[in-house]
Structure 1
Amino acid sequence: MLNSPEKSIDFNIKGSGFKLITTRFSKKTIILDLKKIYKKTGENYFLLTKNHYPEIQKQLKSGIKLLAILQDTIHFKISQLSSKKVPIKVNSNITYKKGFDLNTPIKVTPDSILLSGTSKNLNTINSIYTEKIDLINISESTTKELKLIIPQRIRVTNKKTSISLDVDKFTEGEIEIPINIKNPPKKESINIFPKTVMITYKVGLKNFNRINASSFDVFCDYKQTKKNNLSYLVPHLNVKTNLVSSVRMIPNKIDFLIYK
């Protein structure tokens, strides 16, 4: 239901004095069957109170007779509910103490949420944000529970999520990686100088020993060099781990010779 219909309806009733007094001060809720509503246009529906006399009379106290319902029509706006799953995004301002950083990306649990609402309202929502969190100059791992900012007219079963930050002291590492050649000349041999590149990177202390040559892949594409009419090869770096950051590669140009 898109709108809140009238919360009260005025009746004319008949009964003994005592019955009328007790009925006046009671807060009994009258239930109406919405199966008897009519569609007007689009999301607009209405209910005719005259069709509900017997239904209302049964819910009144014994000795009270319903004479008239003063409001002949009750209006509603009703639309079919749809659902949509969207990612949760963290609204954060996080800084780290010098020499410290995240080991892995921030973990959000749950990282998505199922929304319910009208198609019109859901179409404008592509993600749900958390409340703003400020974590300044941190140097240790932490977990925080955050409220979700839910738009109006949207229903959810959960209004919170938690974020986990795996923080560690960072150091710099370096490793020498051999260069692979993609699309080499078919009838000729190619020789490159140098045959390796030096990779430098930042890594958390507890993950330092997990980084090795298999964590990186470096290649040069001879076909692209020829296509662009270059006199050198361009090395491309593929980082195969999320444990490192600030990755740099030296050199960024590779000389080559072609032998027939």
Structure 2
Amino acid sequence: MDNSNNKYSIFKESGQQGLLHEISNGRLIFLICLFIAVLFWVLIKLSDVYTVNYSFNVRYENAPKSLRLTKVIDTTLDLSLTARGFTILKLNMFNDMNILDINLDNYNIDNRGNNQYSIYTQELITKLSDLVDVDEKDINLSKVTLSFEMEKTGERLIPIKVSLDISFANQFDQYTSIEVIPGEVMVYGPSKVLDTLSIITTAPLALRDINSNVSASVALKNPMPQIISMEENIATINFDVEKFTESEISVPINSSNLPFNIKTFPSDAKVYFRVAQKDFKDIKANQFYVILATDNVDVQLANKIPLRVVKFPDIVRNIRIVPSEVEFLIIK
């Protein structure tokens, strides 16, 4: 009796599971069919042609270098566009349809006199036609021209100063002076403002562990971007880097600059310096000139006189002299 009940129970559970499985499959098929139907409906709708209207706030940028935008007359522009749904969807997804940026570099600007300027919106229609891939006749703008005012500005050539933070690898150092290209930049703006500028600095440039020649581009910092403009926005800096070594050379102490004879102890001094390894072979003792620095020294009372290196090759640096001062004897 128990066995038969167990068998009945097993068959019953098996039947229920099969029914649930069939219901789940049915729901899945229904959802798939629904998704496909909706997808086809969306594709059909997106392939239809629609006319949509937009209202833009107009922003003007990149006025000619010698002019400054002083007043915006046309601040809004309405657009009517006829296109397929796909095109309109793409336009809405990837563009800000509230702001219209007009890059004046890309338009022919008409000077109407008295600082009055304008551009023709037909140029804008042509650009929009290429952008959204629709016929120009399907684009309508509410205005034929967009007007604004600009005034001529002063101009001044201002030197560029590099803001450079550099460290060199062990034994390496800067070999040539820093070359800045261009060394000066033409700046446009109100004359009163230009008169306050003495330099244009670059953005900070940090170079670390340098062991080879440097050529780098760096942005120029506009100190008043709302008021002035610059002809260039980028400068290039170049300088050579070499491996250096420290060396020393023995140089006679020369007292010929004094009105009396002096014998020094010692008679020679050691001059220490740094030089690029490739120039080391060119260093000679006669390229250095060491004298007794008697400025502000009463030779008759002093026990020692300081030494000074007054001549040395341009290719050496970090010069120091040992000893820094010497004992002496006046020979009568």
- Using structure 1 for the length normalisation, give the TM-score: 0.64
Cα contact 2:166–2:207 (8 A) shared by 1: yes
Cα contact 1:181–1:221 (8 A) shared by 2: no
Which of 77, 82, 85 aligns to 2:158? It is 85
Superposition deviation, residue 232 in structure 1: 1.7
CA distance in 1, matches of 2:287, 2:187: 39
Gaps of 5+ in 2: 1-66, 76-107, 117-147
Q: What amino acid maps onto 2:296 in structure 1?
A: Q
State whether structure 2 residue 200 is matched by structure 1 residue 128: yes
Which of 289, 305, 310 aligns to 1:217? It is 289
- Using structure 2 for the length normalisation, give the TM-score: 0.52
Q: Deviations over 1:198-238 (max 9, x none)?
A: 11112221122233235433221335322795322111123
Larger Rg: 2
CA distance in 1, matches of 2:109, 2:69: 19
Return structure 1 stretches of 4+ with deviation > 6 angstroms. none
Cα contact 1:183–1:222 (8 A) shared by 2: no
Q: In structure 2, what is the equivalent of residue 108 of structure 1?
A: 180
Higher relative contact order (Cα pairs below 8 Å, separated by 6+ residues): 1
Cα contact 2:158–2:200 (8 A) shared by 1: no
Gaps of 5+ in 1: 10-27, 38-46, 48-74
Cα contact 1:184–1:221 (8 A) shared by 2: no
Structure with greater helix percent:
2
State whether structure 2 residue 112 is matched by structure 1 residue 32: yes
Q: What amino acid maps onto 1:217 in structure 2?
A: Y
Q: What amino acid maps onto 1:32 in structure 2?
A: R
Cα contact 1:146–1:160 (8 A) shared by 2: yes
Cα contact 2:243–2:277 (8 A) shared by 1: yes
CA distance in 2, matches of 1:83, 1:107: 21
Superposition deviation, residue 102 in structure 1: 1.6
CA RMSD after TM alignment? 3.3
After TM superposition, list the pairs within 5 Å mapping 1:1-260 onto structure 2: 4-8=70-74, 31-34=111-114, 81-86=154-159, 88-151=160-223, 152=225, 153-181=227-255, 183-185=257-259, 188-222=260-294, 224-226=296-298, 229-238=301-310, 240-260=312-332
Seen in structure 2, the aligned counterparts of structure 1 residues 163 and 29 have a Cα distance that, compared at 3 Å, is: closer
The alignment partner of 1:4 has SS state of strand
Identity rate of aligned residues, in percent?
Answer: 26
CA distance in 2, matches of 1:247, 1:145: 33
Q: What amino acid maps onto 2:228 in structure 1?
A: I
Seen in structure 2, the aligned counterparts of structure 1 residues 96 and 239 have a Cα distance that, compared at 3 Å, is: farther
CA distance in 2, matches of 1:209, 1:254: 29
CA distance in 2, matches of 1:95, 1:201: 20
Seen in structure 2, the aligned counterparts of structure 1 residues 119 and 173 have a Cα distance that, compared at 3 Å, is: same
How many residues were matched structurally?
203
